[in-house]
Structure 1
Amino acid sequence: MKFKGTNRTIIILLVAILNVALDQLSKAFVRGHISPYQHYSYLNEHFNILRVENTGAFLSLGDGLMQPFRFILLTLIPALALLGTLIYVLIKHNLTSRLAIGIVCCIGGGIGNLYDRIVYGSVTDFMHIRFGALQTGVFNVADVSIMVGFGLILLDAFLNRNEGKKEEVIAEEQSE
């Protein structure tokens, strides 16, 4: 299904706003009720709530950068990339709905984390999953939005690739 016109723009903006709102509400709850490094375990210690303030990017990368490099790499460039990508999604009308929503989920998650970095000086991470030797880093709802978005983008690429192959087979059969 393809969304068109004003409805498309409204849906794109609503998905972005919803992602940012859910992220910020969850982080506000955690900041208000859980002290830094306070730890709660659930599901036989497979799911943990642990408040961590991340001053770097993914897995604290860039944490030790000096200013102004830290601002440029962790705030300015991401802000410009998010704005440019949002404009791209809004003006590029031939994107599938799945691809557009995937990109917008990534944008919403990015905005949520960028907002934290600008307003609080760090990103609040609070979820951790562990199954035996397999475990995640500490993450937040914005990170989940980003991962869901990338999943939709990859799914769209896979499905479009298969559709392209079907069209090639049909074209070959018709030419024979």
Structure 2
Amino acid sequence: MKILKKGIRNVMVITVLLSNIGCDQISKNVARDYINYGEKISVVSSYLTLTKVENSGAFLSLGNTLPNFIKIPLLTIFPSLVLIGMLVFILRKRKMDLNYSLPIAFIIGGGIGNLYDRILYGSVTDFLHMNFQFFQTGIFNMADVSIMVGIFWLLVIQINTKKDKPIESF
């Protein structure tokens, strides 16, 4: 029975992971095909715009000026190893329930989506920008959304976990 539960959980994890990668790659392909570089398309007034940029660095273009001999290990090889390790961990861990494995699958899916771009194109396609006047984002993509949803989900779980109750899922 435990093997069946673990198998169902793993199928759900893989489904969530592949869905996140698929949504990210489809949206990036649409952005590449239909938005000119630097073009601004208003979706919801000035609050949500589409603006295609290529990010050769990491979060908010950090590291985009690094030489390739540093950038490739730092932004491609190391993240690949971390993502593989995270995936193996959640698929093999017997006691990890969906409360933890699904948000981690969101994070891995987003990471793979951006890593795929970096390997295939040498940069990550970003195209979403939000501006709420008092706060605005950098330009991001659906992989970034997946990563942030996964992180936020894990934070909510941790906040809602009673302090006197030990976490036995891991």
TM-score where L is the length of structure 1: 0.89
TM-score where L is the length of structure 2: 0.92
CA apart distance, 1:18:
0.5
Structure 2 alignment gaps of length 5 or more: none
CA apart distance, 1:67:
2.0
Instruction: Tell me the residue number matched to 1:68.
Output: 69
Q: Distance between the aligned counterparts of 2:126 and 2:68, measured in 1?
A: 23
Percent identity, aligned pairs only, is: 42
**Residues 4 and 93 of structure 1 are in contact (CA less than 8 Å); yes or no, is this contact kept in structure 2?**
no
Cα RMSD for the two superposed structures: 1.6
Q: Distance between the aligned counterparts of 2:73 and 2:43, measured in 1?
A: 38
Paired AA for residue 65 in structure 2: G
Instruction: Tell me the residue number matched to 2:105.
Output: 104
Query: Secondary structure in 1 aligned to 2:138?
Result: coil
**Residues 9 and 97 of structure 2 are in contact (CA less than 8 Å); yes or no, is this contact kept in structure 1?**
no
Q: Report which of the two structures shows the higher radius of gyration computed on alpha carbons.
A: 1
Alignment of 1:81-96 (within 5 A): 81-96=82-97
Structure 1 alignment gaps of length 5 or more: 169-176
- Runs of 4+ more than 6 Å apart: none
Paired AA for residue 8 in structure 2: N
Paired AA for residue 79 in structure 2: P
Query: Secondary structure in 1 aligned to 2:96?
Result: coil
Alignment of 1:28-39 (within 5 A): 28-39=29-40
Query: Secondary structure in 1 aligned to 2:68?
Result: coil
CA apart distance, 1:20:
0.3
Paired AA for residue 28 in structure 1: N
CA apart distance, 1:156:
1.5
Aligned pairs, number: 164
